[in-house]
């Protein structure tokens, strides 16, 4: 059975736009190569950190929601730890209520953007 997961990772703020995209593509490729289905992704952009990490006070945040077998989680965590561009990461398994909430939230956001386009 496939579980749904959400990962948020923070990359170092010294990356250029192309380096940031390359980092995100690397982790998306790891997921898709291991038969994970990417459900949703969001670029949260450059944000201030709650506390300094590696003497940095900002970082690029990126969120990916995906479905996969639980065995892949160990592999992607290892890749996050090996990549020096990643400051922090978190992978969370979503329960059915969290999945339903995320889907409702995306649908509401999509409806709002379509309404804005109509006006």
Per the CB < 8 A criterion, the answer to whether 68 and 5 are in contact is yes
Lateral strand order in the sheet of 37-53: 37-53, 56-68, 3-11, 86-94
pLDDT tens sequence across 4-23: 999 999 999 998 889 999 99
User: What dihedral do alpha carbons 105, 111, 114, 118 form, nearest 10°?
Assistant: -140
pLDDT average, residue stretch 103-113: 85
Q: Cα 99 from chain centroid?
A: 15
pLDDT at 33: 93
pLDDT tens sequence across 53-69: 999 999 999 999 999 98
For the chain, domains (ranges, CATH) are 3-94 (3.30.70.60)
Rounded to whole angstroms, the Cα distance separating 67 from 73 reads 11
Predicted TM-score (pTM) of this structure: 0.85
Q: Tell me the pLDDT band of 119, cut-offs 50, 70 and 90.
A: low
């Amino acid at each position: 059975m496939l579980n749904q997961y959400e990962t948020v990772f923070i990359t170092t703020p010294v990356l250029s736009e192309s380096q940031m995209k390359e980092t995100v593509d690397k982790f998306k490729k790891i997921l898709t190569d291991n038969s994970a289905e990417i459900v949703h992704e969001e670029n949260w952009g450059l944000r201030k950190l709650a506390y300094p990490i590696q003497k940095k006070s900002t970082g690029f945040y990126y969120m990916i929601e995906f479905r996969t077998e639980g065995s892949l989680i160990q592999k992607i965590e290892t890749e996050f730890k090996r990549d020096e561009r990643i400051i922090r990461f978190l992978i969370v398994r979503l329960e059915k209520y969290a999945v339903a909430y995320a889907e409702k939230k995306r649908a509401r956001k999509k409806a709002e953007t379509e309404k804005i386009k109509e006006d």
